[in-house]
Amino acid sequence: DQQVKQNSPSLSVQEGRISILNCDYTNSMFDYFLWYKKYPAEGPTFLISISSIKDKNEDGRFTVFLNKSAKHLSLHIVPSQPGDSAVYFCAASVETSGSRLTFGEGTQLTVNP
């Protein structure tokens, strides 16, 4: 049972344009959502998070949107830069059940110069 799903294995955008990465979840108990970025031969690194009490969180070029009714979140990167090329994982947790994260399959973002 894949509780967190990223349906797009890959995404290619032009430098300067917007990148939109999507994530769907099935467990309505999830109350924290996070995005991680992963470069080759490195561990994933935290990018941005959002609590279920919010519908938007912004940090510089990165914005995460949460639609609880649709059980959907998205990560917007504006403007996209070649250095953003990486695998992006969305993750979710149920705060009251402890600290385990459930991850999606990942989306490979390629930003072309």
Partner 1 sequence: DAGITQSPRHKVTETGTPVTLRCHQTENHRYMYWYRQDPGHGLRLIHYSYGVKDTDKGEVSDGYSVSRSKTEDFLLTLESATSSQTSVYFCAFWTGANYGYTFGSGTRLTVV
Exactly one of 17, 26, 46, 67 binds partner 1 (CB under 8 A); that residue is 46
- Across the beta sheet with 72-77, the strand order is 4-5, 19-25, 72-77, 62-67, 56-59
Q: What phi and psi, each to the nearest 5 degrees, are found at residue 96?
A: -75, -15
Q: Does 32 bind partner 1 (CB under 8 A)?
A: yes
Nearer to partner 1, 15 or 65 (CB): 65
- Residue 46: name the closest of 13, 70, 26, 75 by CA: 75
> Which of these segments, 14-22, 61-69, 77-85, 100-108, binds partner 1 (CB under 8 A)?
100-108
Beta bridge mates, 107: 88
Q: Does 97 bind partner 1 (CB under 8 A)?
A: no
Closer residue to partner 1 in complex, CB, 100/113: 100
Tell me the torsion sign for CA atoms 52, 25, 34, 30: positive
Applying CB under 8 A, the residues found at the interface with partner 1 are 4, 6, 9, 32, 34, 36, 41-46, 49, 51, 89, 91, 93, 95, 98-106
